[in-house]
Structure 1
Amino acid sequence: MNRRTKIVAVAAAVLLALGAGGVAVASGGNGGHGNHGVREAAALTGTAKLYRPAGDDITFSFDAHLAAKDNKDPQAATGTFRFSHYKDGKGGYAVAKVDCLTTGGKVAVVTGKVIETDVDAFRNKRVGVSVHDDGKRDRLGYSWVGRDTNLEVPPCLSAAPFEKVLPGTGDFTVLPWQVDYPTE
């Protein structure tokens, strides 16, 4: 193959590769996850630390998603969320497998069964968390407040987002759920 043909072949290959990448980005591609531009039905992602003047280190992280094909079934949501609370070298953490996700505007509610923890009170329990993604100072709430924290939380329920996150740590992103309603 002569030099000119090689240059043309390499240039064509580069253009094809760039074009395919551009199409994926333009159509909302998500890194090859196979949805080809179809928007997720809902999502909650991000991490933040809660504000506590006593210096507690409380962190919540979310990676929860509801696929477009499951738009009418928030209990088909997938992903995990994690929370931890430490102070003076004591505390614990938990990881929950998402079993329900609902969002509306900038508010999300996610529940999940705890699948990993070093806190006996959370072991195999369903917990719920709510998030308000206000773009300035996010807020967060959780189901284990009040007198009777041993109650089993139903799917998709939690307390209102009553806690403030530490300034500069809230990077929650809520993708609003778009429910399709029948027209007749």
Structure 2
Amino acid sequence: MKRHFSGSGSGRPGRARAVAIGATALLCTGSALPAGATADGAGPAREAATLTGSAQLLRSSDDVVTFSFDAHLAARHDDDPLKATGTFRWSHYDSVGGGWAEAEVDCLVTGGKVAVVSGTVTRTDVPRLKGVRVGITVHDTGRADRLGYSWAATGDPVAMGSVPACVGSAPFEKVKAGTGDFRVLPWLPAF
């Protein structure tokens, strides 16, 4: 029996129908400006950190797993990644079914081209997932991005339960070529 988004069935967590990513891609707005540039000639030159974009994971089966991000840490909160805002969404569907979820961002930390974002699920069609905090890690390579999620060990975010803020897993999943591109703006805290 296949492992589903809702946690039924069994299977290896690394290959499991862990999660999924968005059937409906999140419209990403608010790209960061290049260093030294401002939108109106006043205010901060750029956001402190961002994670935006959407993509489908590379899977060999009939799985369609999509993640979308619109996460931002404002320049004024440069010293506190727990003040990040935005949303992320994922869905996971196969020939048997699946589900989707959307989370409100509560932490964003980026370093180089790697981002870890966490958030609490606010909308979903998966029983018992609402209110669970999940974390996702993205590696923005510019070509073949990678992604990992906090429920990788169990293959089911409900079974995994809430994780602490800004906790994800190694970005072990590959993004399907031509489906999108994640963009990470590195955090450069002033401490």
- 2:132 equivalent to 1:122: no
Match of 1:161 among 156, 171, 179: 171
Q: How does 1:1-184 map to 2 (within 5 A)?
A: 28-30=37-39, 36-88=43-95, 90-147=97-154, 149-181=159-191
SS at match of 1:141: strand
- Could you tell me how far apart the structure 1 residues matched to 2:73 and 2:96 are? 36
SS at match of 1:122: coil
2:5 corresponds to which residue?
none
- Could you tell me how far apart the structure 1 residues matched to 2:95 and 2:145 are? 26
Structure 1: any 5+ residue segments left out of the alignment?
A: 1-23
Q: Which has the higher contact order (CA 8 A, sep 6+)?
A: 2
Structure 2: any 5+ residue segments left out of the alignment?
A: 1-32
- Could you tell me how far apart the structure 1 residues matched to 2:111 and 2:101 are? 26
Q: Which amino acid aligns with 1:176?
A: P
How far apart are residue 26 of structure 1 and its match? Answer: 10
1:16 corresponds to which residue?
none
Q: CA contact under 8 A between 1:76 and 1:99: conserved in structure 2?
A: yes
**Any idea what the Cα deviations from partners look like across 1:5-46, whole Å, max 9, x if unmatched?**
xxxxxxxxxxxxxxxxxxx9996344x7x9645210000000
What is the number of residues matched between the two proteins? 156
How far apart are residue 73 of structure 1 and its match? Answer: 0.4
Q: CA contact under 8 A between 1:138 and 1:170: conserved in structure 2?
A: no
Using the TM superposition, name which of 119-128 and 46-55 deviates more. Answer: 119-128
CA RMSD of aligned residues (A): 2.2
Q: Which amino acid aligns with 1:129?
A: I
How far apart are residue 89 of structure 1 and its match? Answer: 5.6
How far apart are residue 152 of structure 1 and its match? Answer: 1.8
Q: TM-score, normalised by structure 1?
A: 0.78
Task: Answer 1 or 2: which has greater helix percent.
Answer: 1
Q: CA contact under 8 A between 1:137 and 1:170: conserved in structure 2?
A: no
SS at match of 1:115: strand
List 4+ stretches of structure 1 deviating above 4 A: 24-27
Q: TM-score, normalised by structure 2?
A: 0.75
2:28 corresponds to which residue?
none
Q: Identical aligned pairs, as a percentage?
A: 56
- Could you tell me how far apart the structure 1 residues matched to 2:132 and 2:118 are? 10
SS at match of 1:69: helix
